Structure 1
Amino acid sequence: MERKPLSDRLLQSAAASRRFLDGDSLGRIARFVRERQNRDGGFRGRDAKSDLYYTVFAVACLKALGYPPPVFKIWKYALSFGMGKDLDLVHLVCLIRLRTVFPHFGSTRRRLLKGLQRFKADSAYGLFLRLFAGDFRFAAPPASIAVSRSDPTTNLAAALMVGHQEGIAEELLARVCSAGGFAPSKQINVPDLLSTATALFALTQRGVDLDDIHKPCFQYVESLWRDSGGFAGHVADEFEDVEYTFYALLSIGCLTQSMAKNYGNR
């Protein structure tokens, strides 16, 4: 059986959060996301400007929550970037993701993916981005990717694990903090939502048993939920945005999937 694209697996895991969240909670989060959209159709992050990066997260949030994204406005915003020839790798990948939300000719898709060739596939993060964009040329990490295994960050280790490298699950589980959530490295014993979401996604994709950390991780994610309906990145963060809100949905969804698998309630 052909494995689903990475973007589909991420969205499917985030959408599993709907099994855990009640209707009022879903509505609060959706309102927060919708309120971040600007008149040009894009969504803002930590300032007032629209950004492709945050727009992708906003669309993913709404889809995961079961709310239809405002298609026409987002389409107009995405079209304003053309083929993305002046974009960096991250924003080009975001443009590709936005454009693939809508029907378009195969030639357009090929032209967009061809733009990725401007950037070297020489890092685990770069490989993860290419897989996220739908570039399926890499069935496994290229030999050219040199990664220090002495102390990779949690999200790098998760990217390696998603990229089919073995022997990383134990390293990720060692990053779980006593208060719940995953720390970003061995040197920093304070959890954050990015590390938590990426680690949980990698571990659930590999079917690792998470029974011992379900409760503290749920509690940690809940502690980052703000009155606005959005989520912050860590306990000391006073600003919530659509990126971290998606990471919260992804974390909750992965924990829900893990519980369903372990208890036979798929």
Structure 2
Amino acid sequence: MHAPYLIDLAQHLQSGLSSTPPDRWERHREFILKHQCDDGGFRGREGDSDLYYTGFALRALMLLGGMNSETTDQVSSYLSGERDRTHTPVDVLNWMSGSLAVQLAGGPDLLAGDAAATEWTTRAFEELDSLRRDDGGYAKGPEGKLSSTYQTFLVVVTHDLFGRPVPEPGKLIDFLFDRQREDGGFVEIAPMRRSGTNPTAAAVATLKLLGAVDAPLIADVRDFLKDVQQDDGGVAANTRIPFGDALSTFTALNSLRDLQVDPAGLRFSARDFVLQGLEFPTGGFRAALWDEQADIEYTYYALGILGMTA
């Protein structure tokens, strides 16, 4: 039996990072922990706790060797309070993956032994199912009329995390291939003509989960990703952007991993891009060379790049 997609990815990244002595990453762990708020959640660059940034903080901390009991207890309390305010696909995934991280770190199972938790899980999946549209994909929210490639990935990977089959997978596959463009990549919403690195990664991961990867897809995506590689060592969000960023570089590498394509020179250029251009000596990583501040989200992506290129 295969591990869920997100757990398999986390294990792969952990394995890569573990080839370097743990103290190499300690300042980045401290950077993340400085963003934990009094309520136990994590904030972004400013403001209060946010489920989105809490999700990235927990994923990054797990890559860096886990969390201590104090951090686990605090974030467990935060997640318990956020559960009934969680509805969108990205929040549902962040809450569920966060609760799993807490459990793996030795904390409580936030979805076990509680009728209210069971009811919430049922309702959460019902709300996700309600976002299915006639084109076969999933919209960003109840008001959305067009399906989103990224939101579709979030829904499918959430089902996968909990071992739930996705209804009508054939329609999902057709939907995703309708989002592929002549350059070999994929777009986020139907009216778009220019492919993006990140929707391409979302489509590839979803097609992998649905067992729909074939040789033409591998060749198309490989060629598209060559077109978005940049002289700065990173990968750009699309072919019109002349610089790389941590998110696009991470998702490009993960697409190649999903398709079992050797990243070749990208392995080395991406690693240099992160270590020479994005890493702060005081801890944390920034989004791109133009960015002036470290960020929890991009710290996760940078660590992921280093894990995949070790």
Scaled by the length of structure 1, the TM-score of the pair is: 0.86
The 2-side partners of 1:19 and 1:77 are apart by: 29
The 1-side partners of 2:15 and 2:302 are apart by: 12
The alignment's C-alpha RMSD in Å is: 2.2
How far residue 47 of structure 1 moved from its aligned partner, in angstroms, is 1.2
Structure 2 unaligned residues grouped into runs of 5+: 104-108, 133-137, 139-146, 183-193, 208-212
Number of aligned residue pairs: 254
**Secondary structure at 1:185's aligned position in 2?**
coil
- Are the structure 2 counterparts of residues 184 and 82 from structure 1 closer, same or farther at C-alpha, using a change threshold of 3 Å? closer
How far residue 185 of structure 1 moved from its aligned partner, in angstroms, is 0.5
Question: What residue number does 1:192 align with?
Answer: 245
Q: Is the 8 A contact 1:154 1:185 kept in 2?
A: yes
How far residue 15 of structure 1 moved from its aligned partner, in angstroms, is 1.2
How far residue 68 of structure 1 moved from its aligned partner, in angstroms, is 1.8
Question: What residue number does 1:147 align with?
Answer: 179
Worse-matched range after superposition: 9-18 or 53-62: 9-18
Instruction: Give the AA of the match of 1:187.
Output: R
Q: Relative CO higher for 1 or 2, CA cutoff 8 Å, sep ≥ 6?
A: 1
Percentage identity across aligned positions?
27
Question: What residue number does 2:268 align with?
Answer: 215
1:119 aligns with 2:120: no
Deviations 1:75-107 (A, max 9, x none): 11111123335x433223222222334322383
1:183 aligns with 2:236: yes
1:227 aligns with 2:281: yes
How far residue 6 of structure 1 moved from its aligned partner, in angstroms, is 2.1
After TM superposition, list the pairs within 5 Å mapping 1:4-43 onto structure 2: 4-43=3-42
After TM superposition, list the pairs within 5 Å mapping 1:1-266 onto structure 2: 2-68=1-67, 70-84=71-85, 87-101=87-101, 102=103, 103=109, 104-105=111-112, 107=118, 108-120=120-132, 121=138, 122-135=147-160, 136-138=164-166, 141-145=172-176, 146-150=178-182, 151-164=194-207, 166=217, 167-222=220-275, 223-256=277-310
How far residue 241 of structure 1 moved from its aligned partner, in angstroms, is 1.2
The 1-side partners of 2:37 and 2:240 are apart by: 39
**Bigger radius of gyration, 1 or 2?**
2
Q: Is the 8 A contact 1:191 1:234 kept in 2?
A: yes
The 1-side partners of 2:66 and 2:2 are apart by: 26
Q: Is the 8 A contact 1:89 1:119 kept in 2?
A: no
Deviations 1:28-82 (A, max 9, x none): 1111111110010000112121100000110111111113252211111111123
Structure 1 unaligned residues grouped into runs of 5+: 257-266
Q: Is the 8 A contact 1:84 1:92 kept in 2?
A: no
